[in-house]
Structure formats: C-alpha cells, structure tokens
Amino acid sequence: MDRSSGILLHISSLPSPYGIGTLGKAAYEFADFLHAAGQKYWQLLPLGPTSYGDSPYQSFSTFAGNPYFIDLDLLAEDGLLDREELAAINWGTEPRYVDYGKIYESRFAVLRKAFEKGYPRDREAVDTFRKENRWLPNYALYMAVKRRFDMKCWLDWPDEAIRLRKPEAVARYARELQEDVDFFSYLQFLFYKQWIALREYIHSLGIRIIGDLPIYVAMDSADLWAEPEFFQLGEDHVPTEVSGVPPDYFTADGQLWGNPLYDYDAMKKDGFGWWIRRVEGATRLFDVIRIDHFRGLESYWAVPYGDKTARNGRWKKGPGMDLVGVLTSWFHGIDFIAEDLGFLTPEVHKLLADSGLPGMKVLEFAFDSREPSSYLPHTYERNCVCYVGTHDNETVMQWRSKADPADITYARKYLGLNAEEGFHWGVIRGGMSSVADTFVTQMQDYLGLGAEGRMNFPGSAAGNWQWRLLPGEAPMSLAKKIRQYTRLYGRL
C-alpha cells in the first residue's frame, strides 16, 4: 500500500431521509467529498444483513448484503416504489442516530412492494444472478425458513429435519416457501446492482474501498447451517465451544462473543476452500480486506458452549500460516490488513511478520504515561496502518475527556498539541505525519465530536452502530482542510 490516507465511515452512518444510510445519493456525495479531500481510501464495516443487536459483525450471511442499505429513492426512480408512500412512513425522529426498531418494522414491508413490482420484470436477470452466486440459494432458503419460524435461529427451529438440512426437508421447504425464497433472492439482486454501480463510481475517482472481514461467522447464519462440517459442532449440530476473548484489565469476565468455532482440521483437508470462497465473495465488495481479530488465526479463546462468561475458556491453536499463506498467495490485486490488536504474544508477532501484512497502530493507545508503547509514532515501520481510533474506540475528543490527565499531558508534549490548531486536528496531524504507509481516521474525529459520536461500545449489547452524519456536515471547506494536511504530509 502506497503512502496514502482514508476515512472510516460506514454506510449506515450516511445521511438519508429513510432512517439509515444507503447506497444512494449521499454515498455518491461522500465519495466526492473523499476525492476533494485527497483521500485514497473509504473504509467500511462489514456490509452483511444484521440480526439481533444490529452489529455488522453478527450477520445472517458472510456473503449477502444488508437490505437496509438498498436505496429507496433509486427504487422509486426505477418505478418500483411510490415516493409519497415512503414519505408517510416513520423511519425514526432523530437524524443523528439510526432507530433500528423503526427500520425493522417498516423496511421489509416497503421492499416487499418493490419485489412484487420488480421481480416479474427482472426474473431472468435474478436467475442469472443466482447461478453466479452459489451461496444465494442457501441464504434465501435460510431466511425464508427463519421467517416461517418467527425469525428464530436455526438451532431453535421446531422441525429437526430442516434444522439438520435433510435433503427431503430442504426440497419441501424450498417448494412451500418459494415466494419468500424469491423475495430474499431479489433483495440481494437489488443490493448488488446498486453496490456495483456505486463501487464503479468510487473507482472512477481513484478511491479504493477497505472493508472488514469478521474472523467468525454468526451462530444465526446460513453459513453455519449450510456447511456445518467446517465447524466445531457436536450431536445434532450443537456447538461444543464458542468464541470469545479472555479476561483482561478492562473486562473481568472477558468477552463472550458466542460465535461458532471453525474445525480447522476439516478446512485444511479441503484446502481451505471455504475460506477461499469467503474471501472471493469479499472481493466483490472491497479492494482491501481487513482481517478482523488476526491474532485468532495464531491461537483463539474457546469457551464451553452454554457458559455465561468467557472466564472458563482456553487457548487453542489456530491455522497460522497454513491459512494465511493460502489467502495471500491465492488472491492477486487484493491487499490485506491484519487487525493485530489485543493480547499479542511472540507467536502472533511472528505470524504477522511471516505474513508480510501491514498491522494496525492506534494513536489512542500510544500515550500511556506509565510505560513505553509500541503505538507511539516514532516506533512505527512503514508497513502498517495508523488509526487515531477505530469504530470500537472512543472518539479522540471523548478520549481526551476520559483518559488519565497524565496521558493527555504526555500526548500534548509528544505531538505539540495546541489550542490554536485544536486537539483533534493535532492528533490527526500526528498520524498523518507518521511513517505509516496508510493513515485512517473516523469521520467523527475530523468533526471533533465527543461521546455523541461513538460507534460501538465493545461488550455492550445496546446503543451501538447508531451514529449518523448529519446533512451538510461534510462541506467542501472541511474537505479542503483535510486535503491541506494530506498534501503537507505526502499522502495526496
């Protein structure tokens, strides 16, 4: 990755009149903003359909796109929706935050109307789309059966035959739920149609897209249901252990993520074909793939299924370079970033070095006044990506208000922060001026927002993924200022 910079802003955070960001007008306008600001990268979170908790890291499919992101105005322009009907729907009353309850209540009813008008017209194109995306039939059937069983996870489906994917049950439900299967297939057709058009526009501006690949898939997912042979499952496909991270300074009980764990022995026997297909799907979305929780590929924390905390977990060996080497050699024209944050051992450092991938440096972690930190810019090598903070961290202004005063004093001295420039701009300058090949910061930090701009609180099940950019909050005057910093530090 050449010396460059980018901005992290998820699709959900874009402004729109329909309660959540989409692949429509505001996305094109933000691409124009990035171009005017001299940025090479637009970084996004995972784009999959979200489930309970609204986390993009817990998706019904590692391949599918989020139907919430389908732009309704573009569907209206295509004759599939009525604008007056859309204006009459309550999508939420606070433009700063997504009201997922309102979105869930209304979005699929609206998209159903688009399906009823558009599917007969587009049936042939959808059939071609199905053939080109081998994951789609399983995903569409999974969602149709979920709807039949009140959206319950497949583990709780009352019909054991379809829960365990008995061939006769799969065929029967596919017949009985054909309309819903077509509906969920059509939503993916619409999502990818809009996404491809947006991506082509972004590329035309010389901008590349960084996207996240969560290390795990969700328990409630078509991925686990469709290919259970690649996961650590016991009798009746019930997991034996699930994912998490061990207790640490911040969380006495650790974090119980609850994702199913991979059977890496079975995957290796298959030549890691499951991972190759998964990353191939991600390349349809992104130009650079950030591998989430990279350290879990060296060793991972396995928690007994049914435990309420992550305390009783244990470390188990991951696939290491056996998998990483397959991915980096198989895919050309795609860059990877290793999210190497968390508890790092010498073995993890060696895996990162052997992979040759750039790791991550987070400035908010750098200024511990009690001990030296490897996140201080003077310790960087070029092959890394520097962030002020990620979606899991406080905004830089919130960090200033909550961090140990001695740490803030250290940051002020180290970075030469001053009131005239502004605290957040000074920290951004510190990252921009580093030797890191790539620098990325959240849009919230360019805006100087405090706690109101935080995207995610790890370990908290509520109040996440809601923040949105307000209309007019990214003016060209701001793009011009960002461009000045970008040019000054050779990232233009």
Which residues are known catalytic residues?
A: 292, 339, 392
Distance of alpha carbon 317 from alpha carbon 441, whole angstroms: 33
Residue 455 phi, psi (nearest 5): -90, -40
Residue whose C-alpha is closest to residue 478's, from 11, 12, 3, 34: 34
β-pairing, 438-442 vs 4-8, is parallel
Distance of alpha carbon 482 from alpha carbon 492, whole angstroms: 10
Residue 384 phi, psi (nearest 5): -160, 165
Contact 21, 468 (CB under 8 A): yes
DSSP 273: H
Contact 335, 289 (CB under 8 A): yes
DSSP 455: -
Distance of alpha carbon 164 from alpha carbon 172, whole angstroms: 14
Contact 63, 135 (CB under 8 A): yes
Distance of alpha carbon 286 from alpha carbon 409, whole angstroms: 39
Could you tell me where the beta strands, DSSP code E, fall in 137-294?
208-213, 241-245, 255-260, 288-291
Length of the chain: 492
Angle between helices 346-355 and 321-330 (to 10 degrees): 20
Distance of alpha carbon 16 from alpha carbon 360, whole angstroms: 32
State whether residue 246 is helix, strand or coil: coil
Residue whose C-alpha is closest to residue 50's, from 192, 218, 188, 179: 218
Distance of alpha carbon 95 from alpha carbon 443, whole angstroms: 16
DSSP string, 64-120: PPPGGGS-HHHHHHTTSS-HHHHHTS---S-TTB--HHHHHHHHHHHHHHHHHHHHH
- The C-alpha R_g of the chain, in whole angstroms, comes to 23
- For residue 336, list its beta bridge partners: 289
Tokens 């979170």 belong to 45
